[in-house]
């Protein structure tokens, strides 16, 4: 049993991860600011699933789960350094999984300061707490967005990622650089995970699957960007969670080989992995699967590609497969069906 802090625990991936860790017997503290980037009721509903009652949640107050004896939750802003420091002073965590971030490529064009506050200042506070409180492993969310307009496929962690095309991507690349610095100076094992288009039940309302499902059921047009000529490495959330758990249990080490690449270090216990399905899908085929699961046809509004977006992603996950036996095995037919069943149960039934 490990004592683990999961930030972003009211979020999509954080919720699924916290529940999986609890089911295997770990002691977990969930942390989230519960901001209004999207519907806070969905965030509270996720927390309710793990026994955290909305009416008990107050800022900077520990709330114990009514479902899992070993789960507690605290509403905190990662930029609140004093409160974060108090939390770490009162708890000795073995592992920190930092999934808190201001998400969204397009939103970063409208609200850039939110990304600096949450993704840079907040992450610095996490690094400082790991430094001063003997955390044995920091796992943190990066993003496939760091690859920018790279065209060589599949995208590999050995590729150059020095040309981000959104502030969101730049903030995630900054996290990787900051983590390496702290790994090098203070020997904190850090592992970054570049997520590739995660989807599934309890997903984010700003993601394509959620938007498409909602619009189709309401008889409204869906926005199909780049005229449908998009390819994404859609990755089911259960596969992502299993990959994260494998990483949690295997802290990064100083690289001892002869030919390190950008994802490893010979001076620090540091590693960056791609975590995706490694089986890219054409957006139009993805939409067809949604139509099939709903037994309804979409009204399609074809539009140009959006600023900051990329036409294709395809993850090279060979490092994660070779190092930690990562094996994503959920195809989009199953994954989309599971999401649609959840969506109907949550919003309609």
Q: Percentage of the chain surpassing pLDDT 90?
A: 89
- 208 contacts 231 by C-beta, under 8 angstroms: no
Is the pLDDT score of 44 beyond 80?
yes
Query: What is the torsion angle, in degrees rounded to the nearest 10, for the CA atoms of residue 35, residue 36, residue 39 and residue 40?
Result: 40
What is the structure's pLDDT at 39?
94
Give the range among 131-135, 145-149, 272-276, 304-308 with minimum mean pLDDT: 304-308
Give the residue numbers annotated as catalytic, written as ranges.
Answer: 168
Q: Does pLDDT of 254 surpass 70?
A: yes
Is the predicted pLDDT of residue 110 greater than 90, yes or no?
no
User: To 5 degrees, how large is the angle CA 32–CA 309–CA 143?
Assistant: 40
- Average pLDDT on 119-132 reads 97
Q: For residue 111, what pLDDT band results from cuts at 50, 70 and 90? A: confident
Average pLDDT of the residues in 87-115: 90
Q: CA of 137: how far to CAs of 113, 140, 317, 341, in Å?
A: 29, 10, 21, 36
Whether the pLDDT of residue 349 is over 70: the answer is no
Half-sphere exposure at residue 303, Cβ-oriented, CA atoms within 13 angstroms: 12
Q: Tally the C-alpha atoms within 13 A of residue 166's C-alpha that lie toward its C-beta.
A: 26
Distance CA 174, CA 142 (A): 9
The pTM (predicted TM-score) of the whole model is 0.95
Q: What is the mean pLDDT of the chain?
A: 95
Distance of CA 321 to the CA centre of its chain: 19
The pLDDT of 245-250, averaged and rounded, is 98
Q: Quick one: pLDDT at residue 108?
A: 81
Question: For residue 104, what pLDDT is reported?
Answer: 76
- The pLDDT of residue 224 is 95
Q: Are 276 and 238 in contact (CB under 8 A)?
A: no
Judged against a pLDDT cut of 70, whether residue 160 lies above it is answered with yes
């Amino acid at each position: 049993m490990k004592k683990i802090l999961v930030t972003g625990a009211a979020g999509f991936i954080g919720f699924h991860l916290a529940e999986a860790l609890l089911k295997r017997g770990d002691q977990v503290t969930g942390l989230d600011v519960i901001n209004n980037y999207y519907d806070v009721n969905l965030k509270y509903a996720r927390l309710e699933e793990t026994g955290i009652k909305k009416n008990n949640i107050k800022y900077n107050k520990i709330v114990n789960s009514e479902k899992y004896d070993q789960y507690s939750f605290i509403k905190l802003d990662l930029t609140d350094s004093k409160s974060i420091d108090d939390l770490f002073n009162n708890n000795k965590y073995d592992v920190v999984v930092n999934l808190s971030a201001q998400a969204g490529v397009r939103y970063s064009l409208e609200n850039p300061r939110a990304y600096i506050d949450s993704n840079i200042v907040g992450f610095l506070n996490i690094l400082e707490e790991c430094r001063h409180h003997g955390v044995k492993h920091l796992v943190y969310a990066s993003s496939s967005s760091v690859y920018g307009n790279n065209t060589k496929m599949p995208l590999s962690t050995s590729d150059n990622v020095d040309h981000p095309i959104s502030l969101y991507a730049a903030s995630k690349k900054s996290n990787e650089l900051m983590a390496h610095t702290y790994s090098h100076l203070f020997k904190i094992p850090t592992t970054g995970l570049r997520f590739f288009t995660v989807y599934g039940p309890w997903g984010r309302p700003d993601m394509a699957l959620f938007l498409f499902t909602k619009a189709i059921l309401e008889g409204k047009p869906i926005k199909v960007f780049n005229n449908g000529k998009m390819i994404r490495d859609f990755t089911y959330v259960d596969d992502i969670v299993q990959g994260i758990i494998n990483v949690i249990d295997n802290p990064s080490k100083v690289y001892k080989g002869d030919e390190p690449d950008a994802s490893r270090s010979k001076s620090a216990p540091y590693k960056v992995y791609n975590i995706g399905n490694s089986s890219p899908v054409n957006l139009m085929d993805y939409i067809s699967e949604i139509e099939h699961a709903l037994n309804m046809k979409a009204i399609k509004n074809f539009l140009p590609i959006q600023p900051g977006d990329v036409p294709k992603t395809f993850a090279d996950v060979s490092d994660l497969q070779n190092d930690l036996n990562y094996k994503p095995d959920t195809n989009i037919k199953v994954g989309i069906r599971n999401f649609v069943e959840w969506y109907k149960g949550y919003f309609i039934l």
